[in-house]
Amino acid sequence: MQTFYQLLALLGAGLIVWWMYRTIKHRPDQFNRQNLSKSFSTMGILALILIAFVAFLVMILRYA
């Protein structure tokens, strides 16, 4: 049964790679330097907010 799950994961990974290739091929302007810079900035801010939120929850649990 483990082999079945490995094959299923391999098939899923292949479908994801195919979908990404198709997306990049049809819309290459999505992945230019300016758009990626904006996306990484947004993800960085969201990551900092998430880290602060988790730290706040840990402090609540510690003092509760």
| Rounded Cα–Cα distance for residues 62 and 20 (Å) | 43
Report the b/e string of 16-48 with b at 16+ CB within 10 A.
Answer: eeeeeeeeeeeeeeeeeeeeeeeeeeeeeeeee
pTM metric for this prediction:
0.57
- Do the Cβ atoms of 31 and 24 come closer than 8 Å? yes
Q: How confident is the model at residue 21 (pLDDT cuts 50, 70, 90)?
A: very high
Does the pLDDT at position 29 exceed 90?
Answer: no
